[in-house]
């Protein structure tokens, strides 16, 4: 209802009352007894002696159904006293931004907040420019490279289009070998943390300021040392497994504890431990469903080393939910949203199972359904793979084809348009004989840990046209690009800042970043 319509209606209402009262010969010059004659009263039926009219529309606030005259009825308006027709509410607290003293609901009033639209209760501002780090688009002081990639090198590390931001050696962590890694972004502070697995535990590093990374501490192994330790994150908890560590199970660690470390480095203890199995080669998590899948457990167990289904929706009280038979070395679990309409919305697990890929519908944990399997020529060891973001293609690394066959780094791509009938699509060969290990997709790029050749970045934007090319790299193992198990184990490319972590078996943790960003 427009203000004009409301005024007309009110005038007719007032006129009608006047006529009725005149005809009845009733003396009602001040119908609401507020001391103001009806003829002068902007709300003659409700007492309002002060005649407040916030939006100056001639209708008193006490009887105005749209007090700020913005076209949104007061009963629906998230800021009824100030015009805000678009009803913006950045922090979804029910109070419109225009009249909200704390737009991001972080406990800091907007007048004092150095980042009023983004949660940052700690008000970190490392470059002291008055803008909080989390929303500062010119964060130069903490994005200055340790070594710029110049003429093919950053310090002594071969590179192309990626700068070295930070490096922490294994000796800092008291370890003799590194392996897997993952990342976590604190949803409250926006800080970024690297989680790196070691032969004797897991370490946590605050890499928000790459010019001064903070080694916060270490969670020692739950059992014996192992050269295979893996970690994933769900709901602000880290889930850690170790291979050939018979009593390890899953260590579960509350990552929010990292906010309050004051005496670094701290020796941490786990918040919980799941002991439904002993060792596992890896753990994968579907964050959309809250299920973890432990793979590479004992071949003599109930599921012969196949993925074990674990409900981690309550991270501190994980629940055994079954499994699928058939040894899996690694896997990816997703809620499917790809081109195969028969399976949209289902939970799909893609297992890299030593000699083949296995596609399983795990929506019903009590009744998993194998949809299909696919192998390929010159199988060495079907190791690990990842969907493209449109879920049409699956990119696989075979860990032993370079060793057994003598090929250059080989990446195998499959067409998964039809999950019930997957097809081989193409091979991509790298420039050296380095062994490919773990790889992950972000947008149109595939970030590959390629052992002695370090991190390699492949452009997959024309994967449908069978055209893939290398567009950058950072080699954490400058000794050579030989066919050996040294160098980069995992690349984690998902930090919003653009920081990328590489965990290196021999040289520890690297943080790199695309040049010029």
In tens, the pLDDT along 55-107 reads: 788 887 778 777 778 777 777 788 887 888 888 777 778 887 778 788 888 88
pLDDT at 139: 52
pLDDT at 308: 98
Banded model confidence at residue 37, pLDDT cuts 50, 70, 90 = confident
Banded model confidence at residue 6, pLDDT cuts 50, 70, 90 = very low
State the average pLDDT over residues 456-470.
Answer: 98
pLDDT at 24: 39
SS (H, E, C) 384-421: EEEECCCCCEEEEEECCHHHHCCCCCEEEEEECCCCCC
- Does position 498 have pLDDT exceeding 80, yes or no? yes
pLDDT at 336: 98
From 25-29, 222-226, 247-251, 303-307, the region with the lowest mean pLDDT: 25-29
| Alpha-carbon gap, residue 443 to 85, rounded angstroms | 36
| Span 334-346, pLDDT tens digits | 999 999 999 999 9
pLDDT at 137: 59
pLDDT at 28: 57
Alpha carbon distances (Å) from 324 to 3, 288, 300, 315, 352? 66, 20, 13, 22, 13
Q: Which of 205, 254, 261 is nearest to 233 (CA)?
A: 254
pLDDT at 138: 53
| Alpha-carbon gap, residue 175 to 465, rounded angstroms | 45
pLDDT at 154: 98
State the average pLDDT over residues 350-370.
Answer: 98
Both structure tokens of 88: 């913006």
- Does position 480 have pLDDT exceeding 80, yes or no? yes
Classify burial at 97, counting beta carbons within 10 Å of its beta carbon; exposed 0-12, middle 13-18, buried 19 or more: buried
| Span 257-305, pLDDT tens digits | 999 999 999 999 999 999 999 999 999 999 999 999 999 998 888 999 9
- Does position 125 have pLDDT exceeding 70, yes or no? yes
State the average pLDDT over residues 403-428.
Answer: 98
Q: What percent of the chain has pLDDT over 90?
A: 71
Banded model confidence at residue 132, pLDDT cuts 50, 70, 90 = confident
- Does position 134 have pLDDT exceeding 80, yes or no? no
State the average pLDDT over residues 172-193.
Answer: 97
| Alpha-carbon gap, residue 120 to 113, rounded angstroms | 8
Q: Which of 81, 73, 107, 83 is nearest to 93 (CA)?
A: 107
Question: What is the pairing mode between strands 423-429 and 330-335?
Answer: unpaired
CB-CB neighbours of 18 under 10 Å: 16
Backbone angles phi, psi at 140, to 5 degrees: -60, -35
Banded model confidence at residue 313, pLDDT cuts 50, 70, 90 = very high
| Alpha-carbon gap, residue 328 to 284, rounded angstroms | 11
Q: Which residues contact 24 (CB under 8 A, 6 or more apart)?
A: none
CB-CB neighbours of 207 under 10 Å: 23
Banded model confidence at residue 19, pLDDT cuts 50, 70, 90 = very low
- Does position 22 have pLDDT exceeding 50, yes or no? no
| Alpha-carbon gap, residue 67 to 74, rounded angstroms | 6
- Does position 452 have pLDDT exceeding 70, yes or no? yes
- Buried b or exposed e, range 233-255, using 16+ CB within 10 angstroms: bbebbbbbbbbbbeebbbbbbbb
- Does position 127 have pLDDT exceeding 70, yes or no? no
pLDDT at 9: 41
| Alpha-carbon gap, residue 283 to 214, rounded angstroms | 26
SS (H, E, C) 30-90: CCCCCCCCCCCCCCCCCCCCCCCCCCCCCCCHHHCCCCCCCCCCCCCCCCCCCCCCCCCCC
CB-CB neighbours of 7 under 10 Å: 14
Classify burial at 474, counting beta carbons within 10 Å of its beta carbon; exposed 0-12, middle 13-18, buried 19 or more: buried
- Does position 141 have pLDDT exceeding 70, yes or no? no
Q: Which of 126, 257, 243 is nearest to 188 (CA)?
A: 257
Both structure tokens of 246: 């018979």
Contacts 24+ apart (CB under 8 A), 164-167: 164/474, 164/510, 164/511, 164/512, 165/207, 165/210, 165/211, 165/499, 165/511, 165/512, 165/513, 166/207, 166/210, 166/211, 166/213, 166/509, 166/510, 166/511, 167/507, 167/508, 167/509, 167/510, 167/511
Enclosing H/E stretch for 292? strand 291-295
pLDDT at 45: 81
Alpha carbon distances (Å) from 198 to 67, 128, 240, 455, 507? 63, 36, 11, 19, 11
Banded model confidence at residue 11, pLDDT cuts 50, 70, 90 = very low
pLDDT at 488: 98
From 108-122, 248-262, 460-474, 501-515, the region with the lowest mean pLDDT: 108-122
How many helices (H) does the chain have, and how many strands (E)?
3, 31
* Residue 265 preceded by cis peptide, ω within 30: yes
Across the chain, mean pLDDT equals 90
């Amino acid at each position: 209802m427009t203000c004009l319509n409301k005024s007309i209606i009110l005038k007719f209402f007032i006129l009608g009352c006047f006529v009725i009262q005149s005809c009845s010969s009733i003396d009602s010059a001040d119908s609401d007894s507020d001391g103001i004659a009806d003829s002068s009263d902007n709300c003659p039926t409700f007492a309002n002696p002060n005649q407040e009219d916030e939006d100056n529309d001639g209708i008193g606030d006490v009887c105005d159904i749209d007090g700020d005259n913005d076209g949104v009825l007061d009963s629906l308006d998230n800021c009824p006293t100030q015009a805000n027709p678009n009803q913006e509410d950045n922090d979804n607290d029910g109070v419109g931004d225009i009249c909200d003293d704390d737009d991001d609901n972080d406990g800091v009033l907007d007048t004092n907040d150095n980042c009023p639209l983004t949660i940052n209760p700690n008000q970190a501002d490392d470059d002291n420019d008055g803008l909080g780090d989390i929303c500062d688009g010119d964060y130069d002081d903490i994005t200055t490279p340790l070594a710029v990639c110049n003429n093919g090198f950053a310090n002594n590390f071969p590179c192309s289009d990626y700068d070295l931001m930070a490096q922490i050696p294994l000796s800092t962590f008291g370890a003799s070998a590194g392996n897997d890694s993952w990342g976590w972004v604190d949803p409250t502070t926006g800080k970024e943390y690297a989680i790196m697995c070691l032969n004797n535990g897991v370490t946590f590093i605050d890499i928000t300021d790459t010019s001064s990374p903070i080694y916060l501490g270490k969670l020692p192994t739950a059992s014996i040392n192992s050269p295979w330790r893996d970690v994933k994150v769900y709901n602000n908890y880290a889930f850690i497994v170790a291979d050939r560590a018979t009593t390890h199970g899953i260590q579960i660690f509350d990552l929010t504890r990292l906010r309050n470390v004051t005496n670094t480095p701290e020796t941490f203890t786990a918040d919980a431990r799941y002991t439904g199995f002993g060792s596992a080669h890896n753990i994968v998590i579907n964050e959309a469903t809250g299920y973890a899948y432990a793979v590479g457990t004992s071949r003599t167990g109930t599921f012969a080393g196949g993925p074990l289904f674990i409900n981690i929706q309550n991270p501190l009280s994980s629940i055994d939910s079954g499994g699928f038979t058939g040894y899996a070395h690694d896997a990816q679990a997703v809620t499917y949203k790809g081109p195969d309409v028969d399976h949209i919305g289902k939970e799909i697990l893609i297992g890299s199972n030593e000699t083949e890929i296995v596609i399983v519908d795990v929506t019903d944990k009590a009744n998993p359904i194998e949809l299909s399997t696919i192998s390929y020529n010159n199988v060495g060891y079907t190791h690990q793979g990842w969907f493209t973001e449109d879920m049409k293609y699956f990119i696989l690394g075979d860990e032993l084809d370079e060793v057994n066959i003598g090929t250059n780094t080989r990446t195998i791509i499959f067409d998964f348009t039809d999950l019930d009938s997957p097809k081989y699509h193409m091979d991509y060969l790298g420039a050296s004989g380095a062994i490919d290990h773990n790889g992950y997709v972000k947008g149109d790029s595939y970030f590959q840990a390629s052992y002695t050749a370090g991190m390699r970045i492949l452009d997959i934007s024309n994967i449908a046209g069978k055209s893939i090319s290398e567009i950058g790299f950072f080699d954490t193992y400058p000794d050579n690009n030989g066919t050996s198990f040294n160098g980069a184990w995992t690349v984690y490319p998902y930090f919003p800042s653009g920081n990328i972590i590489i965990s290196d078996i021999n040289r520890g943790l690297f943080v790199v970043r695309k040049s010029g960003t």
